[in-house]
Amino acid sequence: MLAATVGKPIQCVAAVAYNAKKSLSVEEITVDPPKAHEVRIKIEFTAVCHTDAYTLSGSDPEGLFPCILGHEGAGIVESVGDDVMTVKPGDHVIALYTAECGKCKFCTSGKTNLCSAVRATQGKGVMPDGTTRFHNAKGEDIYHFMGCSTFSEYTVVADVSVVAIDPKAPLDAACLLGCGVTTGYGAAIKTANVQEGDTVAVFGCGTVGLSVMQGAKSRGASKIIAVDINNKKRQYSSDFGATDFINPKEDLAEDQTIVEKLIDMTDGGLDFTFDCTGNTNIMRDALEACHKGWGQSIIIGVAAAGEEISTRPFQLVTGRVWKGSAFGGIKGRSEMGGLIKDYQSGALKVEEFITHRRPFKEINQAFEDLHNGDCLRTVLRFQEE
């Protein structure tokens, strides 16, 4: 049965980021009905990713205010606009910040998950027709974010930016597949394509880094070295598959660098390293810890505007490879079903990342949770208990 709201604006709660570096304003907004090729979703659960905090910090060149942040969200389709063929009201869905149209040059290349269908307007905080579906009580427009804006009880996304999932999958866990878990797991099994026996080092043991570890473990990596400055990440790393943990502040000999330590531990360097910190100095270490001739370093972390990476070109001349990975190289609409199956079979840990749960109105505390070394993900629920 269709909702009584179909075709009408909906008033609901949302967290509006009016300015960089300021708390979010939890307030009532209006969400317009979806236009053609758009989908309106009732978000049930959303988590806060480090990238939401990055954009709120003002360091994101694409950060626009006021906006509704949030891109790790799962919910139920409330209504669809004309010509939407892929999801229907009542479907359980995950919002996708990496769209998949299946038709563009990128989608048909077989080389990348970076669909171009809506990326340009997405970066400008608007829907593909150049307008926004969000307005505050004063009638002012509010920008969208990463094509998702899951920090709103109702959101509107492009039809290429949403995937239906098995309704038996719990939505509180499924929302984490909207970013962090998929990103790390995919970076290991798709971007790097880690093979049995490979040696791997992961810098940064948050949700993304730990998900790289579980991907590497699933492929039979012989050594998975976790590197983090926070000792609270030691146990988590072991739980998600690390064979070793190094805290560079404590575990290096005098005058020893982390690069030297890693090269010592792996007979000349690693087959694969992953930056999951967003720190450009760490990105350099990660590259230089790779094995001469074939080691690959995958950059996943997001660095602020103006930051640049550097190394001696000799590092690349002698066979080390620098690569990047967005959303783990995963094509959201065609490959999410497989990840849900991996989760349901127990092959992919997802619930284990939910260290904190809060009602949506506590979203500002959820941003504070991010700075607490114990927190992997805070999941916010819209439904009052």
Ligand X SMILES: N[C@@H](CCC(=O)N[C@@H](CSC=O)C(=O)NCC(=O)O)C(=O)O
Ligand Y SMILES: NC(=O)C1=CN([C@@H]2O[C@H](COP(=O)(O)OP(=O)(O)OC[C@H]3O[C@@H](n4cnc5c(N)ncnc54)[C@H](OP(=O)(O)O)[C@@H]3O)[C@@H](O)[C@H]2O)C=CC1
Catalytic residue set: 49-51, 71-72, 101, 104, 107, 115, 119, 179, 377
Specify which residues 67 forms β-bridges with: 17, 143
By CB under 6 A, tell whether 49 contacts ligand Y.
Answer: yes
Shortest Å, Cβ 186 to ligand X: 11
Site for ligand Y in 301-320 (CB under 6 A): 301-302
Site for ligand X in 50-89 (CB under 6 A): 51, 60-62
The single residue among 277, 296, 315, 378 that binds ligand Y, judged by CB under 6 A, is: 277
Shortest Å, Cβ 42 to ligand Y: 24
> Nearest 5°: phi and psi at 171?
-70, -25
Which letter, b or e, does each residue of 202-215 get, where b requires 16 or more Cβ atoms within 10 Å of its Cβ? bbbbbbbbbbbbbb
Tokens of 184: 């790390």
Shortest Å, Cβ 49 to Zn ion: 3
Q: Give CA 145 to chain center in angstroms.
A: 13
Question: 252 to each of 190, 221, 256, 258, how far by Cα in Å?
Answer: 32, 24, 6, 7
User: Which is nearest to 192 in space by CA: 324, 33, 4?
Assistant: 324
User: Which of ligand X, Zn ion, ligand Y, none does residue 107 bind (CB under 5 to 8 Å by kind)?
Assistant: Zn ion
User: Which of Zn ion, ligand Y, ligand X, none does residue 101 bind (CB under 5 to 8 Å by kind)?
Assistant: Zn ion
C-beta nearest to ligand Y: residue: 206
Site for ligand X in 102-161 (CB under 6 A): 114, 119
In angstroms, rounded to a whole number, what is the distance separating the alpha carbons of residues 57 and 377? 19
Site for ligand X in 170-229 (CB under 6 A): 179
User: Which of ligand X, ligand Y, Zn ion, none does residue 60 bind (CB under 5 to 8 Å by kind)?
Assistant: ligand X
User: Which of ligand Y, Zn ion, ligand X, none does residue 152 bind (CB under 5 to 8 Å by kind)?
Assistant: none
- Count of Cβ atoms closer than 10 Å to residue 221 Cβ: 26
DSSP string, 326-342: SGGG--HHHHHHHHHHH
Judged on CB neighbours under 10 Å (0-12, 13-18, 19+), 275 is buried
User: Which is nearest to 144 in space by CA: 80, 55, 28?
Assistant: 55
By CB under 6 A, tell whether 280 contacts ligand Y.
Answer: no
In angstroms, rounded to a whole number, what is the distance separating the alpha carbons of residues 306 and 219? 36
Site for Zn ion in 118-157 (CB under 5 A): none
By CB under 6 A, tell whether 331 contacts ligand Y.
Answer: no
Of 66 and 81, nearer to ligand X (C-beta) is: 66
By CB under 6 A, tell whether 233 contacts ligand Y.
Answer: yes
By CB under 6 A, tell whether 203 contacts ligand Y.
Answer: yes
Tokens of 45: 């659960």
User: Which of ligand X, ligand Y, Zn ion, none does residue 228 bind (CB under 5 to 8 Å by kind)?
Assistant: ligand Y
Please check whether residue 118 is in contact with residue 333, taking contact to mean a CB–CB distance below 8 angstroms: no
Amino acid identity of 255? D
- The site for Zn ion (CB under 5 A) is made up of 49, 51, 101, 104, 107, 115, 117, 179
Q: Which residues in this chain contact ligand Y in the complex, by CB under 6 A?
A: 49-51, 54, 179-180, 183, 203-209, 227-230, 233, 276-279, 282, 300-302, 325-327, 373
Q: Where do contacts with ligand X occur on this chain (CB under 6 A)?
A: 49, 51, 60-62, 98, 114, 119, 179, 302, 326-327
